Amino acid sequence: MRAKHCDAVVSFVLTHYANMPTKEIANALGLTCCAVYQIANLRGVKKDLKYKREHHGNRLMQAGIPTRFKAGQRAWNKGMKKDSGIKINTPKNTPL
């Protein structure tokens, strides 16, 4: 059964959710992050765009840098024939 939150908790979430990390809100209120997300979602509150850019903006720019191709690096399969492994409508005695 869903727990009902008091008005003070809901008003705290509504005022601070847009510009404060969710973990800090959850710790201040003694709730889980999921409970804070649920309160905000039910009331239609979103994180501020400026907050998102400050805290999460470079995450996508930094992801995968060690595994990206460097300039001039050859792919491991360059020049190899593409073989899907599926032979459609060919007799069984056809050489591969």
Residue ranges making up the domain that contains 37: 7-53
**Comparing 87 with 93, which gets the higher pLDDT?**
93
Domain-located, residue 47: yes
**Comparing 46 with 85, which gets the higher pLDDT?**
46
Domain-located, residue 48: yes
- Tens of pLDDT, residue by residue over 15-65, are 999 999 999 999 999 999 999 999 999 999 999 888 888 887 777 677 778
The token pair that represents 67 in the structure block: 């595994």
pTM of the model: 0.58
Note the pLDDT of residue 10: 92
Domain-located, residue 76: no
Domain-located, residue 66: no
How many structural domains is the chain composed of? 1
Domain-located, residue 22: yes
Domain-located, residue 64: no
Residue closest to 17 by CA, chosen among 95, 59, 9: 9
Domain-located, residue 82: no
Of the pLDDT bands very low, low, confident and very high (cuts 50, 70, 90), residue 2 is low
Domain-located, residue 25: yes
How many other CB atoms are found less than 10 A from the CB of residue 25? 22
